[in-house]
Homo-oligomer: A and B are copies of this chain.
Amino acid sequence: MMKTANLLLILFGTLVFAGCFNQELQETIQTDPLPSWNEGNTKQAIIDYVIDVTNEESENFISVSERIATFDNDGNLWSEQPLYFQFIFAIDRIKSLASGHPEWKNQQPYKAVLEDDQGELLKQGMHGLLELVMASHADMTTAEFEAVVKDWLATARHPRFDRPFTDLVYQPMLELLQYLRDNDFKTFIVSGGGIEFMRPWVEKVYGIPTDQVVGSTIKTVFDYNNGNPVIKRLPEMDFIDDKEGKPVGIHKYIGKKPVFASGNSDGDLQMMQWTASNKYKSFILYLHHTDADREWAYDRESHIGRLDKGLDEAKENDWSIIDMAKDWKLIYPHELTK
């Protein structure tokens, strides 16, 4: 009889212990779902918002199907300096195609690319840029383009950090994406970059499926190709998902107004305005690049990712602003294993 009682006591003790342990673990996760974020107003505002709108008792409760969160990509989920990474990809691609195009040596904007003449390249303007994008991104099938992007990501290195470009995603933003998904938000990318440049890697890197990526597109066409169907990429823009294009892209692809929007530049401002007009309580988050040591510091005067009007409007409207230097314990995932 004593033996049975002892056994029960041990069993009971084990259960209580296991219960406590689980509870402790759970509390750690609950109290810090964003471990790479320093304590402060920004982190607290995010957590307060999520707790509020997921609480069925709250007047601000948002049902699961309306929990749409949209994230800009360049400079918001990964770095964008010294040039948008997709632009570095385009330059590398032009160089690798140059042997088949001897005429490019004497023809702008190709000449500037092949001679690494940044000054001349900037002079080529939007028209020159578009020509480079088409020459490097079109006239092949979608499957071929996907392979080209994957090859580039597997071999190209960032000039400053000497790492693959996909290493330069922001660890705090990975945690934020996961935290939102853990709270039944559906997370989308809404980027000025090309959809097909992002899709080959965002699923693995951000946990965002290909159909939750909104971005710029070029026109494509189906070809039955004698029973081996392909989709061909044409050298013609279809849609530019930037500035006023962002709410249009959000409406076109998602069909709902976001309740949570995150971006870093004036190119995101209309997405922020659209989100802020939601009848549900919304959360607007601007990332301010303030960390020249660990990443880059730039805002109003930058050619890439300029944040000027957006900064003013964020301050006027009390939107949350991430001060990268102050709010983030670390920037990139590889710093975790240092």
Q: Are A199 and B255 in contact (CB under 8 A)?
A: yes
Q: Which residue of B lies closest to A228 (CB)?
A: B277
Q: Give Cα distance in the complex from A42 to B231, angstroms.
A: 30
With an 8 A cutoff between CB atoms, is A210 at the interface? yes
Which one, B203, B210, B220, B248, contacts A221 given CB within 8 A? B248
Q: Give Cα distance in the complex from A203 to B64, angstroms.
A: 12
With an 8 A cutoff between CB atoms, is A213 at the interface? yes
Oligomer: number of copies: 2
Q: Which residue of B lies closest to A219 (CB)?
A: B248
With an 8 A cutoff between CB atoms, is A65 at the interface? yes
List residues 205-253 of chain A with CB under 8 A from any CB of chain B: 209-213, 217, 220-222, 224, 227-229, 231, 238, 244-248, 251-253
Interface size on A, residues (CB 8 A): 39
Q: Are A248 and B231 in contact (CB under 8 A)?
A: yes
Q: Are B222 and A274 in contact (CB under 8 A)?
A: yes
With an 8 A cutoff between CB atoms, is A153 at the interface? no
Q: Give Cα distance in the complex from A244 to B227, angstroms.
A: 14
With an 8 A cutoff between CB atoms, is A178 at the interface? no
Q: Which residue of B lies closest to A239 (CB)?
A: B238
Question: In the complex, which residues of chain B have a beta carbon less than 8 angstroms from the beta carbon of A248?
Answer: 220-222, 231
CB distance from A185 to the nearest CB of B (A): 13
Residue among A195, A247, A274 with the highest chain B CB neighbour number at 10 A = A247
Tell whether A212 pairs with B211 under 8 Å between CB atoms, given A65-B203, A231-B251, A244-B221. Answer: yes
Which one, B222, B270, B273, contacts A247 given CB within 8 A? B222
Q: Are B228 and A247 in contact (CB under 8 A)?
A: no
Tell whether A220 pairs with B251 under 8 Å between CB atoms, given A209-B65, A212-B211. Answer: yes
> A196-B255, A211-B211 known; 10 other A-B pairs, CB under 8 Å?
A65-B209, A199-B255, A211-B253, A213-B255, A217-B252, A220-B248, A222-B244, A222-B246, A222-B248, A229-B273
Give A residues with C-beta under 8 Å from B.
65, 68, 142, 186, 188, 195-196, 199, 203, 209-213, 217, 220-222, 224, 227-229, 231, 238, 244-248, 251-256, 270, 273-274, 277
Cross-chain pairs A/B with CB under 8 angstroms, 21 sampled? A65-B203, A68-B211, A142-B251, A186-B211, A195-B255, A199-B255, A211-B212, A211-B254, A211-B255, A213-B255, A217-B252, A220-B251, A222-B244, A222-B245, A222-B246, A222-B270, A222-B274, A227-B273, A228-B277, A229-B247, A238-B252
